[in-house]
Amino acid sequence: MFKVENIRKDFPILSRQVNGKPLVYFDNAATSQTPQQVIDVIVDYYSNYNANIHRGVHALSQEATDLYEQARYKIQAHFNAKHAHEIIYTSGTTHGINLVANGFSALLKKGDEIIVSALEHHSNIVPWQMLCERTGASLKVIPMNQNGELEIKLFETLLNQNTKLVFVNHISNALGTINPIEHIIKKAHEVGAAVLVDGAQSSPHIKPDVQALDVDFYVVSAHKMCGPTGVGVLYGKEEWLNKLPPYQGGGEMIAEVTFEKTTYAALPHKFEAGTPNICGGIAFGTAIDYMNAVGFDAIASYEHELLEYATEKLLEIEGLKIYGTSERKTSVISFNLEGIHPYDVGTILDKLGVAVRTGHHCAQPIMDYFKIPGTVRASFAFYNTKAEIDVLVEGVKKAKMMLS
């Protein structure tokens, strides 16, 4: 039995009030909250063994290095990477995407083609546009339909021998759509293209197996997975990471430096220039431990229950439209009230203690497709409750009454 009340006790922030009301936190797609177990690890790091890693011979440095690298092994096991050195620490998903895009600048030429989907976050659009400008490659887009799903048959027609890269998110941050990445990866590989999957939104809900998926690159952020901000990982197949040139130059990523020539370190350090977010990496490992202790099957089942309940209750409100109605979706509901700007709805909900996200959610092409300025997005996590959804629904009704 999933005991949400016990889980909620692990999250100190859930007991606070906002505008005199109990906090109802439904902005989990932007960032998840942090359990006490992860907070304790952060405090312990700065209290007891704060030191730079890898190069120090003293005890604090060795302790910090050991825990930082142990976290890498935890992350490797979680995503089932073949090697620990295929796990590259980054500052987050955006950093990981830019690292790969920068590397492919040396591999692409005019006439090459890269494919993105219409459901992408800006961070999985803009770096590829920049890559095309640098290399002369062209950008193709997988279209979407009114349900917020990708037109997979049309994707297949875009593929050809000039296709070098395909980029798609596992789950849409704006709509919650779960994309058929297994099929996309398989079809892309048939024409020899590499595939990068943006896993920022999937990693809190699904436990991806990168070897089973046969994906070439997979990127995630810790702060979506009960961890701290400013840290994430790029998974890359060893052969691809060896092909890509370093993204940044500096300390740690070198083997030997002279003024005549520099040689680069082996993986993963080749892509980890400078002092990393040491505490963040260690805490990310603890966050993964925490989520695995709760259990991803249990999380998925409970969040689906929340999604179905919220969908049913919100659709009872006359004039409310949900965007993103795919049968395969996660616990995200993007909606609007007819004739009312989403920002105004979000402002009223905030006064009632309900935290939602409003706007285009860094996915402006999706909003342009639906011809809307943005949506109200309520995104649920495994520590949310049906009672909180009832508060949201009553708040939306109140907003409608006040603003109509």
Catalytic residue set: 362
Separation CA 383–CA 32 (nearest Å): 10
Closest CA to 177 of 233, 117, 133: 117
Alpha-carbon Rg of the chain, whole angstroms?
Answer: 22
Pairing status of strand 217-221 against strand 194-198: parallel
Q: How far apart are CA 334 and CA 264, in angstroms?
A: 46
- CB environment 323-336: b (16+ within 10 A), e (fewer): bbebeebbbbbbbb
Q: Distance of alpha carbon 314 from its chain centroid, rounded?
A: 26
State how far the Cα of 81 lies from the Cα of 75, in Å rounded to an integer.
Answer: 8
Report the C-alpha gap between 204 and 245 in whole angstroms: 30
Residues 6+ apart with CB under 8 A from 48: none
User: Starting at the edge strand that comes first in sequence, how are the strands of the sheet with 232-236 ordered?
Assistant: 87-90, 232-236, 217-221, 194-198, 163-169, 113-117, 138-142
d(CA 38, CA 120): 30
Distance of CA 80 to the CA centre of its chain: 18
In degrees rounded to 5, what are phi and psi of residue 277?
Answer: -80, 80
The residue among 182, 217, 208 whose CA lies nearest residue 79 is: 208
User: Taking the CB of residue 338, how many other CB atoms lie within 10 A of it?
Assistant: 10
